[in-house]
Amino acid sequence: MSIFLEGGFGVEVSRREVIKLGAFGAAAISAGIATDVAEAANKKEPRAVLKISSQEGIIPGKDLPEKLAKMEKWDFDGIEVGGRGLENRVPEIQAALKNSKIKLSAICAGFQGALMSDQESERKKCVESMKVILTAAGELGSTGLIFVPAFNGQTKLNHIEGRKILLDQLPELCEFAQKAGTRMLLEPLNRHETWYVRQLADAAAICRDANHPAACVMGDFYHMYIEEPSDMGAFISAGKYIHHVHLASIKRNLPGQDERNYTDGFKGLKMIGYQDFCSFECGCIGDREVEIPKSVKFLREQWKKA
C-alpha cells in the first residue's frame, strides 16, 4: 500500500509492515519523511548572480589600470589573471584593483609539471609551484586556482591510478589553499585536450572524495558543448562544488559570435544559487572595442531569459 503525504509525496509500505507498526508507527514514518521534506524546502539557495569577468589578455589596453577602466565602462564585474609569476605581481594588481570596482576572479593555472603525472618529480614540482601561486591568490582575494590534473600526453597513469594519485595530493593542497584564503578549482576539458576528467559531475565526484571545502570545480561552456549532454544538468550535478565558469562560443570566440545558447546553463546556475564569476576565455572576431561590450550585453540578456 502507499501512504500519501502532504505535498504529493508517497511512500510504499507493505501491508505486513503496517500491521506490525500499527497506526502509530506508520504515522511516525510519515512525520519523519514530512520533516525531511519540509527542511529541504526551507533550505533555499541564495538568489544567483551573473558576475561577468574576463581573462586579462582578452581586454585591450596598455596596462592593467587601462584595462580595468575599460571593463568598468563595459559593465564587467571581475578580471581573471594568469598564475605564472603571480607572486611578483601582487602589489601591482592590488594597487590597480584599489582604484576600481572590478574584483579579482580566478587565477588561471601557471604552475609547473602536472598533479597527475606518472613522474614523482613532476608532481612535486607541480605542488610546490601551486603553493606559491595559491599564496598570491589568497592575498589578492581570488576565488581559486584553476588546474587540470593532466593534459593529454602528461601522464602514463590510467584512470584508477590517476584518481588515486590525485586524491592522495588534493587534501594537502586544499588545506594549503584554504589557509591562504582561496580554493583549488578542477577544470574538466574536452577529450581533445584531456582524456581524464571531462564532465562536471566527474570533477565534483573527485571533490566529494577529496572531502575538503577548498576542493572545488569549474565549468567551461566551450568544453561543455563537446562533452555534456545538458549544460543545466551539468551545473546542477556539480552544484555546491562550482566556483568559477569560463565563457566561450562553440568555436571558442566571444559569446554571441555564433549560435551557442547560454540560457540552459544559466538556468542551472540559477537553480544552484551561483554566486561566483563567469569569465571570458575566448578569441574575438572583429574589433575588440566593439565586440566585447556587445558580448557582455548579449550575456546579460541570456541571463534574463534563463
Q: What is the binding site for Mg ion (CB under 5 A)?
A: 220, 246, 281
The residue among 220 and 228 lying less far from Mg ion, judged by its C-beta, is 220
The residue among 96 and 252 lying less far from Mg ion, judged by its C-beta, is 252
Nearest-CA neighbor of 75 among 286, 248, 259, 303? 303
Measured in residues, the chain has a length of 306
CB of 274: closest distance to Mg ion in angstroms?
Answer: 17
The residue among 77 and 281 lying less far from Mg ion, judged by its C-beta, is 281
CB of 76: closest distance to Mg ion in angstroms?
Answer: 18
Amino acid code (one letter) for 160: I
Nearest-CA neighbor of 256 among 294, 224, 218? 294
Distance CA 110, CA 258 (A): 29
54 exposed, middle or buried (CB, 10 Å; 0-12, 13-18, 19+)? buried
Residue-by-residue DSSP string for 65-119: HHHHHHHHHTT--EEEEE-TTGGGTHHHHHHHHHTSS-EEEEEE---SS-TT-SS
CB of 217: closest distance to Mg ion in angstroms?
Answer: 12
Cβ neighbours of residue 230 closer than 8 Å, sequence gap 6 or more: 264
CB of 39: closest distance to Mg ion in angstroms?
Answer: 36
The residue among 280 and 303 lying less far from Mg ion, judged by its C-beta, is 280
CB of 224: closest distance to Mg ion in angstroms?
Answer: 10
The residue among 163 and 223 lying less far from Mg ion, judged by its C-beta, is 223
CB of 192: closest distance to Mg ion in angstroms?
Answer: 13
Distance CA 236, CA 227 (A): 15
The residue among 162 and 219 lying less far from Mg ion, judged by its C-beta, is 219
The residue among 26 and 245 lying less far from Mg ion, judged by its C-beta, is 245
CB of 101: closest distance to Mg ion in angstroms?
Answer: 25
